[in-house]
C-alpha cells in the first residue's frame, strides 16, 4: 500500500498568531516520530516557520494574504501535491482537491461577534460554515466547543473529535529566584507581580481585570504587586491602556507586548499569581501553561475554563469586579491557600499532553485517508463493471 500523504496548513507559524500557531506547531513537531509511515507537507508563509518544522517535512511557501492564499494559492499547491488529507484551522481554501480535516477552536465569531472587527466576524461566519459542510472530519479542543459547534451547525456532537491542547514541554517548574532575576534583567520588573497572558482583546476581559486590580490595591494598599500583561497590542489595546490611565495605575501596570515562547515560562514562574478573566475561551491554553509552571491560577468560570482547570483554580464571574478582586486577594493574602493551589496546578497540568493530542489527530487523518482510498476502490470496480 502506498504511503499516506498529509498536507497541513501551517501558515500561522512564525506570524505570532498565538493559540493557532502554538497548536499547529506543537502537532507537526511530534508527527514524524509518531507516524514514520506517513509523508507530510506543510504550507508556510514565514521563513521563520522553517526553524520550527521537522527536518522530514516537505515545505512550500504560500501567500501571506489570506484572500490570495485561500482563494487561489493554497488550492493550486494542493492540486500539485495531491495529498490524501489536508488539515486546516477554521477555513479551507475555496477549491480543495483532498478530504478536509478542520480544527475549530471555538465559535466566538457566532456567539459573540462583537468581540471581533465586523469584517473578520462576517468572514469567519461565511467561510467556516462552508468548510464545515465540506469537511470529512471536525476536530475541536474542549467539550464546551464540541457542544457549541454541534449546536451552531446542526451536527451530532459524536461526529466531532475532541483533542485538548496542552502546554509545551519547556513550560515547567523552575527555580523562582532564578526566574525573578531573569525577569528583572530582561524586563526591569523588580517587584512581585500578578500575570495575565493573551492578546489585548475585548473577550479577554483585561479591562475588567484592571478594575479588579484597582479595587485590590484600594482594599490592601500594603500589597507591593504590579499587574503584568503579556500579549500583542491589537486594535483593542488603546481601550485597555486608557482604562489603566483612568484608574490611575500607570505606575502599577506593565505591558510587555508579545513575549516569545522561550522566555514565557520564565515570566510565568516568577509571578505570584496568574489571572485569566476571559469572557469566552474555547480552551484557555495560558491557564494550563501557568499550571505547568506551578503557579496558582484564578480564572473566569465561563465557557471552557471550568472544564479545563477542573477544580485546580479559583473561579469567578468575569462580569463581577468584586468576585475577581476577592479571588486575587485570597491567593495573595493566604500563603497556605497559594501553596495548595500550586500543587493542584502541577497535578492538573499533567492531564494534558501534546503527544497524545498529536496521536489522536493522526488517527483522524488515518481514518479519513482510509475512507478516501476505500471510496476510490469502489469507484474503480464500478468502472471495470461498466
Distance CA 235, CA 238 (A): 7
Domain 4-166+353-385 in this protein, CATH class: alpha beta
Domain 176-349 classified CATH 1.10.10.10?
no
Residue 47 pLDDT:
85
Residue 323 pLDDT:
98
86's enclosing H/E stretch is: strand 85-89
The b-or-e profile of 15-52 (16+ CB within 10 A means b, else e) is: eebbbbbbbbbbbbbbbeeebeebbbbbbbbbeebeeb
Query: Average pLDDT, stretch 20-26?
Result: 93
The residues spanned by each domain of the chain are 4-166+353-385, 176-349
Residue 91 pLDDT:
96
Distance CA 78, CA 378 (A): 24
Query: Average pLDDT, stretch 232-259?
Result: 96
Contact 106, 127 (CB under 8 A): no
Beta-bridge partners for 230: 197, 257
Distance CA 275, CA 191 (A): 17
Rounded to 5°, angle at Cα 230 from 228 and 234: 125
Above pLDDT 70, what percent of the chain?
95
Q: How confident is the model at residue 384 (pLDDT cuts 50, 70, 90)?
A: very low
Q: Per-residue pLDDT for 136 more than 90?
A: yes
The rounded mean pLDDT for the chain is 93
Domains 4-166+353-385 and 176-349 share a fold: yes
Residue 385 pLDDT:
45
41's enclosing H/E stretch is: strand 38-44
pLDDT in tens, 315-359: 999 999 999 999 999 999 999 999 999 999 999 999 999 999 999
Distance CA 294, CA 343 (A): 7
State pTM to two decimals. 0.92
pLDDT in tens, 194-206: 999 999 999 999 9
Amino acid at each position: 500500500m502506498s504511503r499516506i500523504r498529509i498536507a497541513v496548513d501551517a501558515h500561522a507559524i512564525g506570524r505570532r498568531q498565538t493559540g493557532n500557531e502554538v497548536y499547529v506547531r506543537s502537532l507537526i513537531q511530534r508527527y514524524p516520530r509518531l507516524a514514520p509511515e506517513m509523508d507530510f507537507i506543510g504550507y508556510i508563509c514565514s521563513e521563520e516557520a522553517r526553524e520550527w518544522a521537522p527536518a522530514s517535512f516537505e515545505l512550500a511557501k504560500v501567500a501571506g494574504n489570506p484572500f490570495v492564499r485561500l482563494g487561489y494559492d493554497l488550492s493550486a499547491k494542493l492540486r500539485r501535491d495531491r495529498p490524501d488529507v489536508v488539515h486546516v484551522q477554521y477555513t479551507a481554501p475555496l477549491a480543495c482537491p483532498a478530504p478536509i480535516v478542520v480544527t475549530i477552536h471555538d465559535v466566538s465569531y457566532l456567539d459573540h461577534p462583537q468581540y471581533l472587527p465586523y469584517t473578520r466576524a462576517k468572514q469567519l461566519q461565511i467561510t467556516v460554515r462552508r468548510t464545515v459542510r465540506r469537511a470529512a472530519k471536525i476536530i475541536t479542543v474542549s467539550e464546551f466547543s464540541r457542544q457549541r459547534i454541534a449546536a451552531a451547525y446542526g451536527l451530532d456532537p459524536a461526529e466531532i473529535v475532541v483533542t485538548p491542547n496542552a502546554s509545551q514541554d519547556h513550560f515547567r517548574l523552575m527555580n523562582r529566584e532564578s526566574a525573578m532575576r531573569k525577569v528583572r534583567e530582561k524586563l526591569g520588573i523588580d517587584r512581585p507581580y500578578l500575570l495575565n497572558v493573551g492578546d489585548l482583546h475585548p473577550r479577554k476581559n483585561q479591562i475588567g481585570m484592571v478594575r479588579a486590580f484597582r479595587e485590590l490595591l484600594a482594599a490592601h494598599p500594603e500589597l507591593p504587586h504590579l499587574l503584568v500583561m503579556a500579549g500583542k497590542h491589537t486594535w483593542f489595546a488603546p481601550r485597555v491602556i486608557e482604562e489603566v490611565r483612568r484608574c490611575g495605575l500607570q505606575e502599577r501596570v506593565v505591558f510587555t507586548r508579545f513575549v516569545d515562547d522561550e522566555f514565557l515560562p520564565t515570566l510565568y514562574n516568577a509571578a505570584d499569581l496568574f489571572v485569566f478573566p476571559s469572557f469566552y475561551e474555547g480552551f484557555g491554553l495560558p491557564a494550563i501553561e501557568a499550571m505547568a509552571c506551578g503557579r496558582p491560577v484564578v480564572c473566569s468560570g465561563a465557557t471552557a475554563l471550568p472544564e479545563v482547570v477542573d477544580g485546580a483554580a479559583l473561579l469567578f464571574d468575569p462580569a463581577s469586579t468584586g468576585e475577581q478582586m476577592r479571588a486575587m486577594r485570597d491567593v495573595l493574602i493566604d500563603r497556605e491557600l497559594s501553596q495548595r493551589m500550586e500543587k493542584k496546578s502541577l497535578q492538573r497540568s499533567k492531564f494534558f499532553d501534546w503527544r497524545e493530542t498529536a496521536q489522536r489527530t493522526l488517527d483522524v487523518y488515518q481514518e479519513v485517508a482510509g475512507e478516501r482510498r476505500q471510496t476510490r476502490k469502489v469507484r474503480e470496480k464500478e468502472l471495470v463493471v461498466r
